[in-house]
A and B are shown apart, each in its own frame.
Chain A
Amino acid sequence: MDIDKRKFLKVIGITSALWVGSRFTGGLSSVFGIGDTLDKKALADAGFEISKTLPDPKALIGKQWAVAIDLRQFKTPDDYKKCINVCDKIHNIPDIHTKQDVKWIWEEPYDNAFPEQHNNYMEGQLKDKSVILMCNQCEFPPCVRVCPTGATFKRHDGIVMMDYHRCIGCRYCMAGCPYGSRSFNFRDPRPFIKKIDPDYPTRTKGVVEKCDFCAERLDKGLMPACVEASKGAMVFGDIKDPNSDVRRILSNNFSIRRKPELGTQPNVFYII
């Protein structure tokens, strides 16, 4: 009789406490024997506090990151490929060959990258030239303005960042971006990644993604991967710092930006 009763209580206790309750009662301590509960007050008295977080002392600090792409130095197909491939590889970009593809950094012919600059009588070399495209990391990004959840936002250092945990996949940012810099995961990307780099998460189906200037590398003190791979053809730095490399190259060379008339203040500059 006693044993039966105990068994019954166990069934009730475990099923109700765990099957239903554990998500709401906040804590898995009940798993380790019913009755053991955590003494949170004691923990607090012992001086415990969560969320002491710091930036990495090695992290690169800037007010608004920008990149100047010296197109004159992109001569062979390999000059483009090395920048694009390294990004695809370290960020686990799926290689999808349909209209539902995913791109962070890619090439477009000059005419398509700058359609409003179209000129029937243009110098041949530039006309046929490929241009490296990526997110412009706008100073006033329309994608951030329209995002209904704050899943895309502007970081303190100007990077237009994606929070893949928060994105609901409404794709309003894709309608908002005038540069076509955003991609949606119409499906699970994993089957389309040749070799998954375990150091960087893949994305899941149903979220939007884009280039984030290698925020994860900047936070460790490293340059964006494409900049590093370009061997000087791309110059990266803080556009608000008058002594930065990017400011130096921009002040000495004529540069253009994509759709500057929209007032988004893109931070990818092209030296042609």
Chain B
Amino acid sequence: MYNSGKIITGLIIFVGLVTLPFWYSIGKANIKPDPSLNTPVINQMKVKHCIESKQFMIDNHMELLNEWRNAVVRDNKTIYVSTTGQYFTMSLEDTCFHCHSNEKQFCNQCHSYVNIQPYCWECHVKPAEEIANGH
């Protein structure tokens, strides 16, 4: 084989680069995220239920938020009718954070785990509790 040295070195570098994500996370603890529902508002609820089913919210909250902002900003619609027929104001601050006032124990649990950094907080103000703590 001609240039076998170069080819093999190249292959090693290639394989190394392709498998980088695996090497990157080896040795890191894979602690299962555990979003906390322990907030004053949620604790007072008799039936702990989000605006839609838990599974739907886990899966689709980002699409839902995207629809909300389009509806509010672009179509002057501010009310969301849930599948159970309840009405909610489409507002991150007034609706979502009203219950989920614990960004660190709720939002960040999964977001950190899957290594995504949503830029919500660059504009939207974090839940009151967090601000009080000086974040």
Contacts and interface: CB of A to CB of B under 8 A. Distances in A.
Interface stretch (B8-16, B24-32, B40-48): B24-32
A53 B91 CA distance: 12
B76 interface: yes
Is the interface on chain A under 10, 10 to 19, 20 to 34, or 35 or more residues? 35 or more
A44 to B, nearest CB: 11
Contacts of A202: 122-123, 125
B73 to A, nearest CB: 5
A196 B59 CA distance: 32
A23 interface: yes
B79 A54 contact: yes
A204 B123 contact: yes
B36 interface: no
Interface string A157-172: 1000101110000000
A116 interface: no
Given A19-B114, A31-B110, A38-B59, A59 B83 contact: no
A52 B67 CA distance: 10
B114 to A, nearest CB: 5
A48 interface: yes
Nearest to A190: B122
Given A15-B24, A201-B93, 7 more contacts: A28-B59, A43-B53, A47-B83, A52-B80, A163-B73, A202-B125, A219-B72
Interface of B: 21-22, 24-26, 30, 32-33, 52-53, 55-56, 58-60, 63-64, 67-69, 71-83, 89-90, 93-94, 110, 113-116, 119, 122-125, 128, 131
